[in-house]
A and B are shown apart, each in its own frame.
Chain A
Amino acid sequence: MKLIQMIGERRWAAAAGYLLFIGMMAVGYYYNITFVQLGLVDLGERLLGLSDGTVANLMALMALLTSLVAVSFGLLMKRLGWGKDFKRKLQLATAVVFGQTVLTYLAPAVQNQAQLLIWILFTSLMLGLGVPVTFSMTVDLIPAKDRGYAAALITGLVYAAAPALSGNWQIETFSRQMLWVMPLGVVGLGLLAFFPNPLVETLARQHQLPAFARGRFVKREKGLSGRWRLLGLTGVMFGIFFVDSLGFLRIIDTPLYIHNNWLSADLAPRIFLGIAHAVAALIAGVLYSNLGLKSLFTWVFGIFSLVHLMYTMETRIGPGLSISLALPLLYAVAVSIYTVINFALWADLSTPENISLNTALGVALSGWTATFLSTALSLRWRLRGMSLERHLSLVDALALMFFILLLISPFLPRGNGSKRGIK
């Protein structure tokens, strides 16, 4: 692991940059999975009394806006060459975190649907800006060889902290939690971004080093152009996020499973799941750094299909079934693995020139759009009174479809320009 090497060689600036990235992304990820994804549902349904359908529509809107802003800004950053400008990215990150802090403070005070709509517009704007800005810092702060390990650290930290931090899953709680951390982030990032210092000067030059500059999967294999490869992997990751979120939101609300998931009032299952997530993240980090993409995705989809199959089976076996922790354990493993991949993959398909657009396309389209669209769909299905069994069967069918697509993908026609890499 390069971080240990950096510390051993007393390259404190590089190590500090590494840790800055881990901390920034971990807080950002925690913010997204709690405050944004779950807090918005709570805000709409509980505080404002909106129907499931309305909240579903608002979430879909937020997803699309976030993706639109992210891709547009990613493209703009690429055109302006900001992907290579670390200081500019730091300044933008400071502005984004400041904006998010204000929005976090205001969230519990939202009183009607019109205010919520405005809040969503600004939140989408901040999230959309944040994606290409923060993810493109990978090329400045994390050596290509270590991106899997860094992603594992981020995922592991978030999930290890989550059992202790998750409580009643209400927007007010999330808001209070985040407001402990975010102002500190604004001050810290602001000091680095707006006051000249040798640390930032050193970090700003790192993207020129071979160890940082070129992603692991850039120009590696013949037969598929870089652009097609990026689109293909975006599709695969979209499928994973979409199917997962579609199943997760229904499972997490179902009384049968509630005692053994993150909503459990009991701390023990939450700690167990947190540890499982963290261990799986470390495993994923090691495997990501050493296996090829094909093996990696086959493992992910294999485990993923198994998890959804098992949830469907358990639902079918029916009442009287004793629910164990085996299912949430497997679920946690699958989620950790693909989260690690999502953190590392897009930067590894990029160079400093195109990282802002590539990460925006990858994260926004596969992560945000898929998660929010599936969340909206899940709420719609529930609104129509769809049974848990039917819901999970559909999730199973989708998981199976993506699994089969992955299996037949080697036989699909390949794009031209195989030797061009990702431009």
Chain B
Amino acid sequence: MRNWKYLFWLLAVMLLSACQPADSYQGRVILSGSHQLGEDEVVPGDLVVVDGEVVLEQGSRVEGSLLVLGGSVSLDGVIEGDITILRGKLQFREQARVKGNLNAGGGHLLGWQEAAVGGEITENIGWELPGELMMEPNLNLGEQMIRRIVFSLTTSVLVFLWARFLPGPVQRVGDAAVDHPLVCGALGVLVFIVGPVLVVQMVFTVVLIPVAGLTLILGALTALYGLAGLGIKLGSWFQEQSGLTMARAAQAAWGSFLISLLIQGLNFVPLLGGMTAILITAVILGAVLLTRFGTRVFIPDQV
């Protein structure tokens, strides 16, 4: 319960942060569509572009900083603060001016060599989101399969290590996922609904972008933990059926390899496959949470 209390105290602090004075922060967030800032038009605070198309014409001004997380921005005006681009496209035009720093972590940056940048130009800022340049190239079916097998093998190696050093907790997670899939799935779906919204909201605050990144990493690790749990159950079943003798960690690795392949394979099936993959992931996420990361056995509170 202590872990949960920490989590909710964190939420409480976030809630308190919303009770700040009305004009302590100003900004504009663009999520979609086309937006144009004409001559002499001013954005009073920061400008965050998540998606869509933004044109800042000559004579326009952003009084705060510009953060590009996606979409495309054509800049021919003045940015009083910094520019940070993690993903998407930023095109500098002839009259573009940045009074602060230019930080590029990912995405397309065009015409920046000729741009007037008052501060420093940093090409690698440590935080990068997967952008167009890093997107998966067009692969044929064979190459895709090889890639997925390699991914599953890598996952199973991690699971092997996890199950090797934390066999008890992994087993408890697996037990919960197999014995109570409905409850685990329900909680997992709830996390799937709430989690992304929380992460996106953190990104909007700009200062919490690192926390959002950490949350995503934590989410991935949680899924891996759950995969280990379900893997150990599948591996154990496989051992019983085949008569082969495997160490527990090897069972987990083998089982998670199969599940990982299954989840990836399901993505080839339109709609239903993706939904099934999401449900399996929800079950394993829920199992990890209900067992409090494997620290206790989950027993439903029933009549």
Contact = CB atoms under 8 A, between A and B. Distances in A.
A151 to B, nearest CB: 14
Interface string A386-408: 00011001001101100110010
B14 interface: yes
Interface in B193-227: 193-194, 197-198, 200-201, 204-205
B22 interface: yes
Query: Does more than half of chain A's interface fall in helix, strand or loop, or is it mixed?
Result: helix
Given A393-B18, A403-B8, A145 B190 contact: no
Contact of A321 (B18, B28, B186): B28
Nearest to A320: B28
Contacts of A301: 8
A316 B25 CA distance: 8
B198 A333 contact: no
Interface stretch (A26-34, A47-55, A182-190, A279-287): A279-287
Contact of B16 (A144, A329, A400): A400
A287 B11 contact: no
Interface in A264-299: 279-280, 282-283, 286-287, 289-292, 295, 298-299
Interface stretch (B30-38, B102-110, B257-265, B266-274): B30-38
A309 interface: yes
Interface size class of A (residues with CB under 8 A): 35 or more
Given A298-B4, A306-B11, A283 B16 contact: no
B141 interface: no
Nearest to A211: B303
B15 A403 contact: yes
A301 B204 CA distance: 23
Interface size class of B (residues with CB under 8 A): 35 or more
A290 B8 contact: no
Contact of B204 (A291, A317, A320): A317
Given A317-B204, A320-B30, A389-B22, A302 B180 contact: no
Contacts of A287: 183, 186-187, 190
Most buried by A among B9, B19, B200: B19
B241 interface: no
Given A286-B183, A320-B28, A320-B30, A396 B19 contact: yes
Contact of A407 (B12, B32, B204): B12
B12 A404 contact: yes
Given A305-B15, A309-B14, A321-B29, A290 B22 contact: no
Contact of B12 (A299, A305, A310): A305
Interface of A: 144-145, 211, 216, 279-280, 282-283, 286-287, 289-292, 295, 298-299, 301-303, 305-306, 308-310, 312-313, 316-322, 324, 326-327, 329-330, 333, 389-390, 393, 396-397, 399-400, 403-404, 407
Interface of B: 4-5, 7-9, 11-12, 14-16, 18-19, 22, 25-33, 35, 43, 45, 52, 180, 182-183, 185-187, 189-190, 193-194, 197-198, 200-201, 204-205, 300-303
Given A280-B190, A287-B190, A313-B205, 5 more contacts: A283-B190, A289-B300, A318-B45, A320-B29, A320-B30
> Which 3 residue pairs of A and B lie closest in terms of their CB atoms, listed nearest first?
A322-B31, A286-B186, A290-B300
